[in-house]
Amino acid sequence: MPIQKVGVVGCGLMGSGIAQVAAQSGFATVVREVSQEVLDKGLKGIEKNLARLVEKGTITEAARGEIRGRLTGTTKLEDFKDCDVVVEAIIEQLPVKRELYAALDGICKPATIFASNTSSLTIIEMATATKRPQRFVGLHFFNPVPVMKLVEVVKSIATDDAVYEEMVEFGAKLGKTPVRASDSTGFIVNRLLVPYLLDAIRALEEGAGSITDIDNSMKLGCGYPMGPFTLLDFVGLDTTYYIADIMFNEFRERRFAPPPLLKRMVLAGWNGRKSGRGFYDYADPTNPKASNL
Ligand code: CAA
Ligand code: NAD
């Protein structure tokens, strides 16, 4: 049976982007959050993005209505029972994800495929919370999801070959270029990107340059679209901290170790752009000011 209905768990930075792209790609999409308040915030972000696409002439007003019509928000996991695929994009913490998958396993039909958007956990350690590890893959999207063209499709040692191929095809149907990655911590992109981002924080701690000068160096000197601190704030410092901690535990190499400054900022609730403060202060979002650290 072709995939018709997609479930997305989490409507934060990534879940909202994945839900938007799934609805834009023609799938009936249901997205779940922990409370109505958080759900409304995520849906509002999607509506803002769609309005911008209409303004730019990328989609018509009628298409916006159809896309919005395909998208339903919920706070109930039971609404995933007849989904063909469920993409999970909740907090990067293994016990929380395992608890969710165990619950979903009891609710979803046997044919439902589970796909995690995890940045750094291995797929097998989540798949074993279910009785369907053969129908479990990684689908790792990139932030902002509506714009970034890549999806890493991850096969665990237990993933069925046909399920994997179906998910590669699904990634392409979402308008992304799928790359095949093995179930190795950080897959391809984060294995290379995370040490770079953490090194930028270490460079700041060691006084190599200021936040603005390090950002400008990588932007103007190397042509990166964002400097590392702008990107860290964009990804979320809490998420980066979880990712680094998981990768360090796996590889036991300093390049993956979360720097003390990152930990202190997360403890202070400075989680980056989404919390209004990180390496930059977003009191005026159009003109972020480097934080005094
Ligand atoms: N949602 C939807 N669309 C967005 C958006 C968002 N959050 N932010 C920007 N856009 C769109 C804009 O509307 C614009 O569209 P058009 O070209 O159609 O007008 C386009 O993106 C470009 O935006 P801007 O002109 O405002 O700004 P920009 O040229 O600086 O591009 C950017 C913004 C695409 C985010 C760019 O800065 C960029 O590529 N940054 C790097 C992002 C990156 O590295 N992402 C990966 C993070 S790591 C990860 O995701 C993995 C992980 O596990 C942590
Ligand atoms: P986020 O903090 O913006 O959003 C996570 C959301 O999940 C929150 O809104 C939270 O309320 C919700 N949530 C928690 N438990 C839930 C549950 N049981 N059911 C439904 N919703 C639940 O985080 P994010 O940046 O969107 O990251 C989500 C996942 O995507 C993580 O695994 C992260 O590693 C991964 N990821 C993040 C990025 C990035 O750049 N931020 C990129 C790729 C992958």
Which pLDDT score is estimated for 125?
98
For 18-72, what is each residue's pLDDT tens digit? 999 999 999 999 999 999 999 999 999 999 999 999 999 999 999 999 999 999 9
- Considering 116, 119, 120, 271, which one is annotated as catalytic? 119
Among all ligands shown, which has an atom nearest to the Cα of 48? 1
Which pLDDT score is estimated for 52?
98
Whether the pLDDT of residue 114 is over 90: the answer is yes
The mean pLDDT of the chain is 98
Which pLDDT score is estimated for 171?
98
Whether the pLDDT of residue 121 is over 90: the answer is yes
Q: How far is CA 141 from CA 97, 120, 208, in A?
A: 17, 12, 32
Q: What is the mean pLDDT of residues 237-253?
A: 98
Which pLDDT score is estimated for 231?
98
Whether the pLDDT of residue 1 is over 90: the answer is no
Residue type, 178: P
Active site residue 190: yes
Q: Partners of 181 in the beta sheet?
A: 154
Which pLDDT score is estimated for 271?
98
CATH 1.10.1040.10 region(s) of the chain?
Answer: 190-290
For 152-187, what is each residue's pLDDT tens digit? 999 999 999 999 999 999 999 999 999 999 999 999
Q: Which of 273, 285, 188 is nearest to 229 (CA)?
A: 273
CATH tag for 5-182 (out of 3.40.50.300, 3.50.50.60, 3.30.565.10, 3.40.50.720): 3.40.50.720
pTM confidence score? 0.98
CATH 3.40.50.720 region(s) of the chain?
Answer: 5-182
Q: Find out whether the beta carbon of 231 lies less than 6 Å from any atom of ligand 1.
A: yes
CATH tag for 190-290 (out of 1.10.1530.10, 3.20.20.70, 2.60.120.330, 1.10.1040.10): 1.10.1040.10
Conformation bin of residue 144: beta by default, left when phi > 0, alpha when psi is -120 to 50: beta
Cα separation, 14 vs 10, whole angstroms: 8
Among all ligands shown, which has an atom nearest to the Cα of 43? 2
Q: Find out whether the beta carbon of 111 lies less than 6 Å from any atom of ligand 1.
A: no
Active site residue 291: no
Whether the pLDDT of residue 278 is over 90: the answer is yes
For 209-237, what is each residue's pLDDT tens digit? 999 999 999 999 999 999 999 999 999 99
Whether the pLDDT of residue 10 is over 90: the answer is yes
Q: How confident is the model at residue 9 (pLDDT cuts 50, 70, 90)?
A: very high
Q: Find out whether the beta carbon of 247 lies less than 6 Å from any atom of ligand 1.
A: no
Q: What b-and-e string marks burial along 157-189, b requiring 16 or more CB atoms within 10 Å of the CB?
A: eebbeebbebbbebbeebebebbebebebbbbe
232: CA distance to ligand 1 center in Å?
13
Residues with CB under 6 A from ligand 2: 9-10, 12-15, 32-34, 38, 89-92, 96, 100, 117-119, 141-143, 235-236, 239, 243, 274
Active site residue 140: yes
Whether the pLDDT of residue 254 is over 90: the answer is yes
- The residue nearest atom 27 of ligand 1, judged by CA position, is 225
Q: Is 32 helix (H, G, I), strand (E, B) or coil?
A: strand
Which pLDDT score is estimated for 282?
98
Which pLDDT score is estimated for 235?
98
147: CA distance to ligand 1 center in Å?
6
| C-alpha angle 192-123-35 in degrees, rounded to nearest 5 | 100
Given the CA of residue 193, which atom of ligand 1 is nearest to it? 48
Residue type, 13: L
Which pLDDT score is estimated for 228?
99
